[in-house]
Every structure is written in structure tokens, then in C-alpha cells.
Amino acid sequence: MRLKTAIFLWIFVATVLPLTALVLATTSYSERRYWREVDREVQTSLSNLASELERRLLFEREVVRALSQAPAMRAYIAVLAADPGGARGDELERRGARLAAFLEGFQAILPSLSTFRVLSAEGHTLLKVQGAARSPAIFEGISPYPLVEPELTPPALGRRLEGLPAREVSFVTLPAARRPQRGQVQPALMEAVVPFRSGARTAGYLAAHLRGEQLDRILDTVPRVYDGRLMVAEINPDDPRRNGVLLYDDARGLHFADARFSRARVQSFDDGRLWRAVQGDAYGAVTTHDGRYRAYYQEYFPYPNQLVSWLIVTRLDRGALSAPFTRIRLGIGVLAAAALALSLLLAHAGARSITAPVSVLAGRLKAYGRGERAGALAPRGPREVRQLTESFNDMAESLERAEAERDRAQHAAVQKAKLASIGELAAGVGHEINNPLNNILSLAKLVERGLPPEAARGRADLASLREEALRASRIVRGVLNFARQVPPELAPFEIRPWLEETVGLVRRTAAKRGVRLELYAGAEGEMEGDRAQL
């Protein structure tokens, strides 16, 4: 592996990779916490919205209950209860007029209750006030009183209304004949009905239609948490016509106060995924199959006497909510790419700063191995490489000193070997010379014995010959002793004669070279040593 690649991998694995993983993990953790907070806030907002709707519906119920106890209403119901056969029709009409005027004035003040009906015990409409105006009674039937709307053919409504609790506001769905226009579907809200009892018999009913304008105002003005889109649908398993219909929807511009239902149903939302989730839990959240939206829902029961609920839904754009984290991840990717490029540049620069001096050092080592000596190498590069270069210089210097000492030792060994050889040669030569010198001394002694007494000159010459022979013998003996490395024989001797003899040995050589030797010796003295080896 090249050094640049190794440095890049070190930097990338040691810094970029763990930091990127750490930031991504932190981002994912933050996003999960963020979504948990979003879930909590949205569910809280739905709960608050349900509470607002409940307060408004409670107010509407209390208003209807109060109207049922109004004097004009009680007077009208009293005549109706006392004259089921229709004998007091004129009095009922007079009291109906007063009741209608009262209801018209009330609608002018509180238009959210758009329609009031007073029903007979059989469920036929005897009096109707809509839009602050009384509708005329123009229809005839088996009822003893004229009717505002056509008479109901099946008697099922009367039986169903008869089971409602007295003096309590209940909500029911009136049959199709209650609708003012043919072909119009049922309104968004059920009608509030209060039964009137006269002993054990039902005298009649007050039915009030809530248009839902106040509910629309609440839904229109409620803050959209995270820019969610609100939707309200009715869940009514007992009535397939109403089950799942949308009552309010931001996306479609649908409101409670619209004249009729939209044909859209919550079952069609995201291929029924939301509807299936609602069947299992009363509140929760689902994500669309394409992942674009997340729908939060809560089930709310608006009618105390009905197992009918409203599904309150808010849809959030997941892309908009996740946009900050998407930008963070994109930024992380850009930073990771920049860090990757920077790692490559650092690896290249680091490799150059390291490999260049290392390559020079490697070349110098190879040259040193070949015996080339180029002097010290200048340290450069990182501190470790400089230390390596300095160590190489110290090693080279130490090796050069060792080589010089080795050469000197080899030279000394050669000289010692030469001296040993010379000593052996000198020993042989000295042995050969010593024999003739002994013969010369012996012959000189014999010749001196044979000289006549008057031959003084001859005896002097023989004495000089004998002295030179002895001196030569001493020299030979000294050479032999030096060659054999005989231990010195220490003994006291006179210094002056030894000095004169030594000077005499080199006097002729010095004279040949123009050097004059003079001996200056003062008092006599002795020294201890081996005179022959000195």
C-alpha cells in the first residue's frame, strides 16, 4: 500500500468517517425526537379542538333546552296536549303565531339554529320557522291540524322519537321528507330534538337544525399546527349513507354549513389506510403510502345519545417538516465530500513531506551500503523524519570512526608482524654474526699472546679490535634480547659511560646528516635498569 493511500485511509477512518457517522446519528436521533414532539403537539391540538367543538355543541344543546322551556313554547304545547283531536285549532293557531314570532326574533339574534320545527306526536311538522320566517301550513293529511311539510307515510319516525328521554336534548336524523328540496342529501349535523310529555303521552317535539356555522368558524380560526390541513368525517356504522362522509375539509373547501354533504368519504383517503387505522385505534397517526403526508386523527363523540363519532384529522406535509433535517443531511454530505477532498490533499501533502526526505534517506542508505561516502545528510521533513536523519548521520559518523580505528589497528598489526619478522630475522642473523665475533675475540687473544713485548702498536690495535668485537657482540645480544622479548634484567649502572656509548653509536650517522652531537655530563651518577635494552 502506498504511503499516500495509507495516510488517506488513516485520516478518513480516524476523523471523517466517525465524525460523519456521529453527526448522522445525532441528526437521526434529533429527528426522531422532533417527530415525537410533533406527534405530541398535534395530538394535543386535536384534543383542544375537540374540546372547543364540545363546548360549542354544549352551548347549542343548552340553548335548545332553554327554548323548550320558553313560555311561548309551553303555551303552544299545552294546547296541543289538551286537544289532540283538533277542536281548539284556532287557539293553537294564535299561540303558534306567538311562538313563531318568538322563534323568528330568536333566529335573528342566533342564526346558527337555522330551522325550528314543532312536531306532533306522530312526527308531522305543525310549525316551522326557517331563516327568521314562518313557513305556511299548506298540506293536509290524516292529522287534525294543517301541516307545513308533507305527511310522513311510514309511522317509524313517531315510534323512534317516542323513545327519546323527556326534557333532554337528543340528536336524531330526520327522514328524507324533512328535506326542503327534492334530491338534496341530508345536512351535516343531526337535528336536536326535545320531547314534550303530558303524563304518559307524548304531546309533541321541538326539533332544531344546527347549520354548523359556529363550528366552521372554530375550525377556520383554529391554529394549524405545522400548517396541517384539517378534515372532519362522520363515523356512523348504523347508517351507510353517512358513514365516512366528509363534514369539513380544508383541501376541498368543505364546511359544516354547506347545504349538503360532499360525496367524498374518508374511506377513499390513501386507499383506505386511514380508515383501517381508525377501526383499530381511537387516535393515532398514519403515513401515506408515498410517504409525503402524515395524518393524525382523534375520534370525538358529539352526540350524547348516539354512537356516532366524528373523526378529526390533520394532515401534515412530511417533506416540509423534514426539510431542515434533509438540508442537514445534504450539508453533511457536502461536508463529507469536502472532508474527503481535504483528506486527499492532506494525504498528498503529508506523503510528500514524509516520502521526499525518506526517499533521500533511503537513497543515501543504499549509497552507503555500496561504500559511497557523501558526508552528512541535512535533516528536513517532520520531526520524526529529522530524528531518523540525525540518527543516520550519527550512525555513519560512528561507522567512519570505527573504520578508521580498524584501519589503524590493522596497520599496527601489520607493523607488529613486520617487527616480529624482523626480530626473527635479526635473531638468526645475530646468531650467525655472534659466532664469527667469538672467533675474532679468540683469535685476537691468541695473536696478542704471540706478540713480542716491544710490539706496543700491535697490542693497541688488537685491543681496539677486541673492543669493537665486544661492542658488536653487545649489539647482537641486545638485538637478540629484543627479538626474543626477554624480560629486562634490572641492575645499577653508571650513567655517563652509557651516555657516551649511546652517543658514539649515532655520532657517525648524525655527522653524515650535518648534525653535531655534544655530550654535556656533570657529576657522575647511577641509574637502575637493563643497560642492554636501553
Tens-place pLDDT, residues 4-42 = 566 666 666 677 777 778 778 888 888 889 889 999 999
- Among candidates 31, 210, 51, which has minimal Cα distance to 117? 210
- The predicted pLDDT at position 181 comes to 47
Q: How far apart are CA 164 and CA 119, in angstroms?
A: 14
Q: What is the pLDDT of residue 458?
A: 79
State mean pLDDT over 218-246.
Answer: 91
pLDDT (average), residues 47-64 = 94
The answer to whether the CB of 169 falls within 8 A of the CB of 193 is: yes
The C-alpha atoms of residue 152 and residue 210 are separated, in whole angstroms, by 22
**CATH 1.10.287 domain locations along the chain:** 375-486
Mean pLDDT of 339-362: 70
Q: CB of 173 within 8 A of CB of 239? A: yes
* pTM recorded for the entire structure: 0.62
Percent of the chain with pLDDT over 70: 85
CB 224 within 8 A of CB 96: no
End-to-end CA distance of the chain: 73
- H or E element at residue 198: strand 191-198
pLDDT at 136: 92
Neighbours of 3 (CB within 10 A): 14
- Three-state SS for 380-411 is CCCHHHHHHHHHHHHHHHHHHHHHHHHHHHHH
Ranked by mean pLDDT, the top range of 104-113, 351-360, 387-396, 455-464 is 104-113
DSSP state for residue 346 in the 8-state scheme: H
Element (H, E) at 330: helix 318-369
pLDDT at position 351 is: 64
d(CA 232, CA 264): 12
Residue 14, H or E segment: none
Query: What was the pLDDT predicted at 182?
Result: 44
Asked whether residue 414 carries a pLDDT value surpassing 70, the answer given is: yes
pLDDT at 437: 76
What mean pLDDT is predicted for residues 162-166?
Answer: 85
80-89, 207-216, 482-491, 506-515: least confidently modelled range:
482-491
Least confident span in 67-81, 167-181, 190-204, 426-440: 167-181
Average pLDDT of every residue of the chain? 81
Judge contact between 364 and 385, C-beta under 8 A.
Answer: no
Query: How many other C-beta atoms lie within 10 A of the C-beta of residue 503?
Result: 14
- The residue among 286 and 520 whose pLDDT is bigger is 286
Asked whether the predicted pLDDT for residue 49 surpasses 90, the reply is: yes
Q: Do the Cβ atoms of 35 and 362 come closer than 8 Å?
A: no
Distance CA 493, CA 503 (A): 17
CATH of domain 375-486: 1.10.287
Helix (H, G, I), strand (E, B) or coil at 285: strand
Residues linked to residue 129 through DSSP beta bridges, in sequence order: 116, 134
CB 208 within 8 A of CB 171: no
What pLDDT, in 10s, does the model give residues 523-533?
Answer: 677 888 877 66
Confidence of residue 179 (pLDDT cuts 50, 70, 90): very low
Alpha helices, DSSP H, located in 12-115: 17-68, 71-82, 89-109
Closest CA to 188 of 264, 121, 117: 264
Q: How many CB atoms lie within 10 A of CB 511?
A: 11
